Structure 1
Amino acid sequence: MTFEVIPAIDLRGGRCVRLLQGDYARETSYSDDPVSVARRWASQGAPRIHVVDLDGAKAGAPSQSEVMAAICRAVAVPVEVSGGMRRIDHVEAALAYGATRVQLGSAAVKDPVLVRRATERFPGAIVVSIDAREGLVQTDGWLSSSTVRAVDLAREMAAAGVPRIMFTDIGRDGMLTEPNYAAYEELVAALGCPVVASGGVSKVSHLVRLAAIGCEGSIVGKALYEGAFTLGEALDAVVATA
């Protein structure tokens, strides 16, 4: 399978934004029309689109379902959604409005039984999103710290049957530095399920290296919005090295 380059659409107040290191006080707004942004990425060849409800992540329940549903209706490519998904009915609603994957983040720490139930009930549709600072998992829209090591939680989730893990190094998110390659090497070696990278990509070569490590794909946000490279350039690079 070709490494997936997955554009991100982060929603806050109905707008397409990016945060620096998950800090809600350091926001850059890119568009008041997230649906048109989704159409643009789809038209440029995105294999799927990653949509995050930042308000929902902070509040603990989805708050921008209408916008996410509109994105799902607007594009033919698969859409994965996340942010505040803490109950089975949240997952059901997202799949009903057209999402093909639903990410569970805080629930993996706070309610692992929910994750297992969701994984069994919706085969292939659940992604556990593990977000960490200095190796320790953060929850509630990255506002709360835990003492859980990211790799330990990933192993637990993989053992529970979760079909894939997405890992974000918060310290690199939105910083246009480079991914935490050591973390991805550890996760790929430790797990028996696919790993999706997120955070720090600023060059096409970063995506090529993540593919070489064995990641299934990478979320790309700020690098695309700031024009560090085009989606077409990224897609061409990973295909060339497949």
Structure 2
Amino acid sequence: MSAVYGIGLSIGGAIGATVGKIFINSQQAGFLLGAVARGVTGILVTLIWPKEASARDILKEHAGVWSVMRSFIPPTRDCRDFCLALVGRLLMMMGYYVTMGMLLYVLESYVRLGKDSAASTLAVISVINMIVAVVASLIAGYISDHFQRRKVMVLICAAVFAVSFVFPFIWAEPWAMIASAAIGGFALGIYNACDGALNIDVLPSKDEAGKDLGFLNLSNTIGQVLGPIVAA
């Protein structure tokens, strides 16, 4: 399931970048289309999402002020692996979005492409990144499930991702950015295939799994925000 989720992210990102290229000179229309797409997909997901079991027979607990406040406190006991996964996800996403979040500006300012050429190159990079990430997700997902080794796969992902930065660091050329995207896409595919399963494995409490997964997803979001800030 983690691999399927990762494939969806990769395909969605590539489609978004390709469509975004069309609106490079009419950004207001692009933002409007993005807002409409989010609204439509939200409705579609709500309609097709499998119906969950009724909570009518679940024992209800008194939800006092402390109970609500406790839901904002991350786990503090027997959570070493959980904390490592949280920090690892934060750093991984921050590193990824240091480049991907500012990629258009990197192509314009570092590679010295014009706006239209940068937009076209960005679309090519996104498609290549998607294809490689999808293939890597399928392969890594199978290997991860077969050998039940999540941490090793994430470690390999981090190493491959670091290698992807070598090409644009040495050569400020479009082909180097494309090569970097291909290698980075392979790393991202491994990460998407294994990270979700790893996060489930390191949850310290099944009774508070939803809350703890929320903290892990929060680290994902914070990493996406910090990446462009660090790059800027």
Query: TM class, shorter-chain normalised?
Result: under 0.3
Q: Which has the higher strand share?
A: 1
What is the TM-score of this pair, normalised by structure 2?
Answer: 0.25
Q: Which has the higher helix share?
A: 2
Larger RCO: Structure 1 or Structure 2 (Cα < 8 Å, ≥ 6 residues apart)? 2
What is the TM-score of this pair, normalised by structure 1?
Answer: 0.24
